[in-house]
Structure 1
Amino acid sequence: MIEITNEDIDAIETILFPNGSTFNESHRKVIKNLDTVDIKACPGSGKTTSLIAKLLIFEKKLPLENNRGICVLTHTNVGVNEIKRRSSQQEGGRLFQYPNHISTIQVFVNKYLAIPAYKHFFLDNVYSIDMDTYIENFKKLFYKISRGYRQNIERKFPVEDLWQKLVFDFEDDGTIYLGAKKLEDVYSNTTPTYQYLKDLKKGLLEKGILSFRDAYVMAFKFIKEYPEIRDLISARFKFLFIDEMQDTSPIQMKLLNEVFDKSQVTIQRIGDTNQAIFESSSEELSWKPEKRSLSLTESKRFSAAIAKCIDKICIEPQGVTGNNTIPIIEPTIIVFNDHNIEKVLPTFAELIIENNLHQNDRNVFKAVGRVSKPHPEGKITLPSYYPTFNKRNSKSVRFSYSSLQEYIDAINQIEDHNVNEYRRLLINCMLHALRIEEIRKDDKWYSEKALLQTLTEKNEQIAINLNRLIAKWVLNAKNGQPIHNEIAEFLTSKFVPLIKGSKQVTKELKDFCTITKNSVDNAVETEETEQKNSYFHAVKSGSELKINLDTVYNVKGETHTATLYLETFYKKYDLSNLMDYLKQNHTFPKGKEKINALCVAYVGLTRPSHLLCLSMRQETIDGNEEDLKKAGWNLLYIKD
């Protein structure tokens, strides 16, 4: 029977904390616990570090009894990469080897359920499970619909919304919904419109082009037909750890419950229900921690002054305590009116300079808000404070793009320097080229395995040199050298003709490999967007202080030196809606809107280590001044 001791934790501290920090008793209790339990953790409490410590201790004790594995699921690749980086520091790291599995929930669903299900039901390989590829192909098929019918559909359902609304039912994959209603209840199944939309949705699935939601549809279908999958997965994994549990959607929760048998698998769910925020208003919190849970309430991230002010601005106060080694700077509310709103960011910058935070070794300054788009009636949103603000495109690295140039651009977005990530990206680019040419093997889309096998059969030397070629491209790209023409030449003159058995390639492939004005414009636009979303403030020394603007959703998980939470309008002005909580008068929130507003505010307010500021309209603060001061807030009025 495996056991984690204080001696194990002492040894791992030297790896995780080279500066001499240690785990406190609450952390040690969490690390040593090997039972099924929920773990509630406040922001900056070290929950992920505690999980990593437990995993690294496990790694030294592998293999487990009967060679069972450890499964770790997260919601982003950030946590996965951190575990991977730490594991690589230990000799003989085995956490990322069979029978263990560490990935995002989506990758787990794809690998063990959706992809095998698709192969079983359609006797083919999945083309892609990727939202950008799905949306791109959805629109292509939609614009092939006869113009009159297409325009009638768009009057009710603009295509930008349609791809989200036209979905398969989770329980019965043969039923298609359009929004909340069955497709046949929106358009009669005798009409051409019904048939067009039905053919569009089913056509994408038959081509193997899946949305993330479709992957879950396939997963449920697979489990329904083969319930023994639950026994197989539960027999393989002895432990399941789920990080950031509050971000788990109801459908993810349902699937995990169906796949993992609690009687066979020890399950630990780790998160903070106060930080459950979703960009889609249709999503909701699915995780309710068990009463018998463990807690981590001491934050290493922020000062005691910040901890005092934010503890009640949440669904359920946890008695958060701050880090006493961080200097106390009084949390400040910057009060503005319609005539001086443009002075909010400069005032925040001056507070940063006044407290010498710009001289810190690590200085990250951000201004965040809930709503990023201009309001049609002129209500205050992020652009109201900084008119050039434009919500940036997601920087997350995908593995499917619409052009060769986008694949190359993605090389420099990969932060994890594991060569396998680069290799996977460029292999996917080659597979994409084969799909453009509609080249199959045994009437199936090529997989990586089939590709390497065919290359070996047709030209063993190219197969042998492939990894070396990919490494050269990546190195050159990282060094700023042009690689586009070389890869384009390889794809169109060597690779595709070799697999195809013909030197002729389609116009579509040539277009894919051509640098267009759009691809150049996209690169310029991305750079310009970065500039538009940054406010620069002059410092007397002659340097500049940079404050990045962003949405609360995009900064989740980050730590800033100073954060400014900007009041914005979402059905109501969000800080006005939360005034009682700002004054430390907590009542359990009722209604979905109040709960969502609290979670968004809590995430935004718990980012800074040293300085927390709010911007608040004069109308919001009127009559509440004394109560806010008693709650620990300093009030700073902007002068016209």
Structure 2
Amino acid sequence: MPPLSLHDVSDDEIAELAASGELDLSNPVRRQFLKEMNSRDVQAAPGAGKTTLLGLKLRLLGRRWTPDMGAIAIVTHTNVARQEIENQLSGRPDAQRLLRYPHFIGTLTAFAHQFLALPTVRGLGFQVQSIDTEIFTSAAAAALRLSPNARGWVANQSGLPTSTSFVDRLQAGALKIAGSLTLDVENPRQLALVPGLANRSSPTFVALQEVKDSLNARGLFSYEDMMAIANSTLNGIPDLRQALAARFALIVLDEAQDTSEAAFNMLHSIRDAGAVLQCIGDVNQAILADGASPAWKPAADALDLNETKRFGPSLARVASKLSVHRPQDIVSTKQPDSLLYAILFAEGAEQAVASDYAKLLVSNLGGEGSFWAVGHRRNSSESAKKTQLVLGSYFPNLKSQGPQVDALLLHASIVQFGIGASELEQVENALRETITYCCKLGADGETLRQGRLLKTCDRHFPEIGRGLRDWISDQLEKPPTTEALWAEAKASLLARLASFAPDLSLVETCGNLKFAGDSSTFEQTATDGAYEIIDVDGTKVRINVGTIASIKGQTHDATLLLQTSYFNIRPFGKFAEALNAKTTRKWGPKEASLLANFYVATTRPRRLLAVAAQADQIGEKDRNLLKLSGWTILEITK
């Protein structure tokens, strides 16, 4: 088999690609990656153009590939990323062949599922209904609450005070333990050791094993199960490693910083059998777990793609100071330069921040563009003496684009709703509205808003409750996977309610009950599409509001980073300390996690970055140093 090679790529060929204007290829690191055909890591700064660069490399490979060469696998973390790569190749005669068999362009989970986990699970005698962590966790939590030999221990794992009711402790403990019910990579027929239970012969562990067996017998598996099965299969069948390495001569992993340890074990196993593995990402954007080290650790010889085209030199210097997982000197020649503002507010004056930010947007950018305000999810400190700030503290008039269930599979939503999971208020509220409207309950409809819907129906509207439970059961048995099937499911719900609403024929839709397809096809967006519109002298400025995690991968015109609760750390004290440090320093786990979140937020905007912090968070010395670094400081008093 002839090797897949790029050794013959000439400067003229690279110049031809550069002439398209898609990306500046004068950078030597970009040129090196285009020709690189050994296993290599690429540490790419935000805005370095890595997706475009990967697309250009695939065009070079497509020109040279013949059927007797090994295939190429491009592995991503989301279908959105997959589609971006496919768009790079679509319509390109020199690369379009890579979109077809025997090549693979898809998500990491799809790769493990298609080539390893699904064949193995079926070989073990299981019928697969779903491989999805959300679905599995919901079903597992329900099963744990019903397990007579495990429920006492499960309740004790909740972490809640013993004064809390047993039911609440059981619910919290079940959700916590459900995520630990993963198959053992050494033996995929048994449960891996669960934290707090090292003895497999204990009655509690035996009960947990029974729960796991019952879920697997129903065909329910988590993504973690899938990776355990994949690694077990690779470890147990050396010929399979060789076969996959022979099939895929080159495997490229995109967004490597989001990859789990188990997934790396799988890819490294194939690499060690002879495949070339190239990992591309930005390890400094790894913010998946507080205090955890990223699973991807770029090798010492990793290509340093440190030139950004997204933002100007001033913001590049800020990002460099916040690159805590792997120091990187990010450079930029983009003009005009990025604008930096620090909005310092007195305690209790946080609601004035949004207005000042809107004024900056109008004066600098004209008031139209992609404008965001972001902060952390609430990680509260029980010992905090002051009221802790959250996103709503700054935006008391948040609006929503309406109820959505985009973040979950419809199947997962129904499973979780069916067991009374309180976090699925959107699903529950949509069903409440549908029942109230279709059944013309009038004032009695208010009863539906008292407590959980199913329990309320059981008590006050038992026939509706039975109909709703039957409908949920039907969806669990055969979950709708397309818009057409979802339309049938909605019609079925309306039919079940027909006896309570004689004029139901007038109703054509269930309103806010939205169909949600494969969750991996949705780009993670800000919390519930929240936004606020602020009037600045007649100019309406829309500011989108979300968490830092929700904006990963996005590019904005302007971003406002808000001081929000982050355990017991004074967040912007650490921010100023990092920006003003003269040398690289070692941060503690939570500090590193905090600064990594700041890194993600501060590298989103093209033109303007603003941070908002309580005035007592940044001392006079740090303020002066920030001013010398190009920051404009605005003060808000009560």
The two structures share one fold, judged by TM-score above 0.5: yes
- 1:211-262 superposed Cα distances (whole Å, 9 cap, x missing partner): 1111112112222331211100001111111111222222222221123226
The answer for the alignment partner of 1:145 in structure 2 is 147
TM-score scaled by length of structure 2: 0.75
| 1:472-551 pair list within 5 angstroms | 484-485=487-488, 519=513, 533-540=530-537, 542-551=538-547
Distance verdict in 2 for CA 1:258–1:635, change over 3 Å: same
CA contact (8 A) 1:16 1:53 kept: no
Q: Cα distance, 1:53 vs. partner?
A: 1.1
Match of 1:119 among 108, 122, 126: 122
- Per the TM alignment, residue 35 of structure 1 is displaced from its structure 2 partner at its CA by 2.5
CA positional deviation for 1:487? 8.0
Q: Given the superposition, is the C-alpha separation of residues 151 and 387 from structure 1 closer, same or farther in structure 2, using an over 3 Å criterion?
A: farther
Q: Which residue of 1 aligns with 2:300?
A: 291
Q: Which residue of 1 aligns with 2:632?
A: 634
Q: Where do residues 382-531 of structure 1 align in structure 2 (5 Å cutoff)?
A: 382-387=391-396, 395-396=406-407, 398=409, 400-401=411-412, 436=477, 484-485=487-488, 519=513
Task: Determine whether 1:552 maps to 2:548.
Answer: yes
The residue number in structure 1 matching 2:41 is: 38
Q: What are the within-5 Å matches in structure 2 for residues 597-616 of structure 1?
A: 597-616=594-613
Q: 1:261 aligns with which of 253, 272, 275?
A: 272
**In 2, distance between residues paired with 1:521 and 1:208?**
23
Given the superposition, is the C-alpha separation of residues 435 and 318 from structure 1 closer, same or farther in structure 2, using an over 3 Å criterion?
closer
**Residue in 1 aligned with 2:455?**
none
**Paired residue secondary structure (1:570):** coil
How far apart in 1 are the matches of 2:18 and 2:119?
A: 40
Q: Secondary structure at the residue paired with 2:99?
A: coil
123, 134, 159: which one aligns with 1:132: 134
Determine the structure 2 residue equivalent to 1:221.
232
Correspondence for 1:589: 586
State the shift of 1:39 in Å.
1.4
Aligned equivalents of 2:227, 2:196: Cα separation in 1 = 20
For the aligned residue pairs, the C-alpha RMSD in angstroms reads 3.7
Structure 2 equivalent of residue 200 of structure 1 = 211
**Does the residue aligned with 2:120 lie in a helix, a strand or coil?**
helix
Match of residue 615, structure 2, among 606, 613, 618:
618
CA change 1:267–1:390 in 2 (3 A) is farther
SS state at 1:167 partner: coil
Give the equivalent residue in structure 1 for 2:350: 341
**Alignment partners' CA distance in 2, 1:434 and 1:565:** 42
User: 1:81 is matched with which residue?
Assistant: 83
Q: Does structure 2 retain, via aligned residues, the 8 Å contact 1:366–1:562?
A: yes
Aligned pair in 2 of structure 1 residues 16, 250: CA closer, same or farther (>3 Å)?
Answer: farther
CA distance in 1, matches of 2:405, 2:46: 24
| Cα deviation 1:85-117 (Å, max 9, x = unaligned) | 222222482222222111121111111111111
Answer yes or no: is the 8 Å Cα contact 2:228–2:262 preserved in 1: no
**2:48/2:306 contact within 8 Å kept:** yes
Residue pair 1:373, 1:383 contacting (<8 A) in 2 also: no
Letter in 2 for 1:76: T
2:157 paired with 1:156:
yes
TM-score normalised according to structure 1 size: 0.75
Matched AA of 1:636: L
- Alignment-mate amino acid for residue 154 of structure 2: I
Tell me whether 210-219 or 590-599 shows the greater mean CA deviation.
590-599
Q: Where does structure 1 differ by over 6 angstroms across 4 or more consecutive aligned residues?
A: 388-394, 432-435, 514-518, 529-532
How has the CA–CA distance of structure 1 residues 177 and 35 changed in structure 2, closer, same or farther, with 3 Å as cutoff? closer
Equivalent residue runs for 1:210-359 within 5 Å: 210-261=221-272, 264-278=274-288, 280-281=289-290, 283-315=292-324, 316-325=326-335, 327-359=336-368
Task: Name the SS for the 1:176 alignment partner.
Answer: coil
Q: 1:344–1:615: 8 Å Cα contact kept in structure 2?
A: yes
1-side partners of 2:103 and 2:350: how far apart? 53
The residue matched to 1:239 in structure 2 has which SS? Answer: strand
Instruction: Tell me, in whole angstroms, the C-alpha distance in 1 between the residues paired with 2:614 and 2:128.
Output: 52
| 1:113–1:612 Cα change, 3 Å | same
Deviation at 1:355, TM superposition (A): 0.4
How many Å apart are 1:204 and its aligned residue?
1.0
CA distance in 2, matches of 1:372, 1:365: 22
Kept in 2: contact 1:71–1:101 (CA 8 A): yes
Give the Cα–Cα distance (whole angstroms) in 2 for the partners of residues 530 and 435 of structure 1: 27
Among 54, 64, 88, the alignment partner of 2:57 is: 54
Alpha-carbon distance in structure 1 between the residues aligned to 2:175 and 2:58 = 42
Q: Name which of structure 1's ranges 193-202 and 148-157 shifts more when overlaid on structure 2.
A: 148-157
- Identify unmatched segments of 5+ residues in structure 2: 159-172, 418-425, 428-472, 496-507, 517-525
- Give the paired residue count: 535
Rounded to whole Å, the distance in 1 between the matches of 2:217 and 2:492 is 32
> Aligned equivalents of 2:529 and 2:575: distance in 1?
30
Aligned partner of 2:13 in structure 1 is 8
Contact 1:381 / 1:569 at 8 angstroms: preserved in 2?
yes
Structure 1: distance between partners of 2:528 and 2:277: 44
Does the Cα contact within 8 Å between 1:249 and 1:283 map onto a contact in 2?
no
Change (3 A) 1:303 1:484: same
1:576 aligns to what? 573
Displacement of 1:486: 8.6
Distance of aligned partners of 1:230 and 1:337 in 2 relative to their CA distance in 1, 3 Å threshold: same
In the alignment, is the contact (CA less than 8 A) between 2:75 and 2:254 conserved in 1?
Answer: yes
The amino acid of 1:382's aligned partner reads L
> Which amino acid in 1 is paired with 2:547?
T
Report deviation, 1:207.
2.0
* 1:141 alignment partner AA: A
Contact 1:534 1:548 in 2 (8 A): yes
- CA deviations 1:59-92 (Å, max 9, x no partner) are 233226x331011112222221111122222248
Deviates more, 1:588-597 or 1:381-390: 381-390
1:297 to partner: Cα distance = 1.5
- Tell me: CA distance 1:346–1:487, structure 2 relative to 1, closer, same or farther (3 Å): closer
- 1:214 to 1:485, Cα distance in 2 relative to 1, 3 A: closer
**Counterpart Cα distance in 2 of 1:168 and 1:251:** 12
Provide structure 1 residue ranges, at least 5 long, that are not aligned to the other structure: 411-431, 439-447, 449-469, 478-482, 493-513, 523-528
Q: How far apart are residue 380 of structure 1 and its match?
A: 2.4
**Mean Cα deviation higher: 378-387 or 51-60:** 378-387
User: Which secondary structure does the structure 1 equivalent of 2:597 belong to?
Assistant: helix
Q: Tell me: CA distance 1:307–1:216, structure 2 relative to 1, closer, same or farther (3 Å).
A: same
Equivalent residue number for residue 418 of structure 1: none
Asked whether the 8 Å contact 1:374–1:384 carries over to 2, the reply is no
Q: Indicate the residue corresponding to 1:499 in structure 2.
A: none
Query: Using the alignment, how far apart are the partners of 2:260 and 2:153 within structure 1?
Result: 33
The match for 2:98 is 95
Contact 2:290 2:589 in 1 (8 A): no
Cα contact 2:197–2:205 (8 A) shared by 1? no
Structure 1 SS opposite 2:81: helix
Letter of the aligned partner of 2:114 in structure 1? K
CA drift at 1:545: 1.2
Q: Which amino acid aligns with 2:349?
A: N
| Partner SS state of residue 166, structure 1 | coil
